Amino acid sequence: MTTAVSYAYVNAGDNRPSLTEQFNACRAYASAHGYTIFGEFNDIDESDQPATTAAVAAIHDAVARQGVTTILVHRPSAWALQRLNGLGARVEDVSATGSEQRTV
């Protein structure tokens, strides 16, 4: 069974669904694909709350120490991919429809 983490985020100027909607999409995708979610992490990057990327550090730790192999993200932007690529896990876009998997 694949062990995954969910990553949700909001940032200034990006019209993204709420964190709750993003996590719900990750949960549904994980269920449809037989993934076990190890943890759910989020970052908020707004003018009054700049992202510290603490969630990315926690994901890195989950990959390195807990055997997480997949990062689930709803419609990952270049901003998110820049932070997630190189962590040692596959990034999958959960906004893909049906049983299609999109690795980014």
Q: What is the pLDDT of residues 25-57, one digit of tens each?
A: 999 999 999 999 999 999 887 666 655 678 989
The whole-model pTM stands at: 0.85
Mean pLDDT (the chain, rounded): 86
Q: Residue 68 above 80 pLDDT?
A: yes
**Structure tokens of 60?**
């890195």
Q: Tell which residue, 72, 56, 55, 61, has the closest CA to residue 3.
A: 72
Domains of the chain: 3-103 (3.40.50.1390)
Q: Residue 99 above 50 pLDDT?
A: no
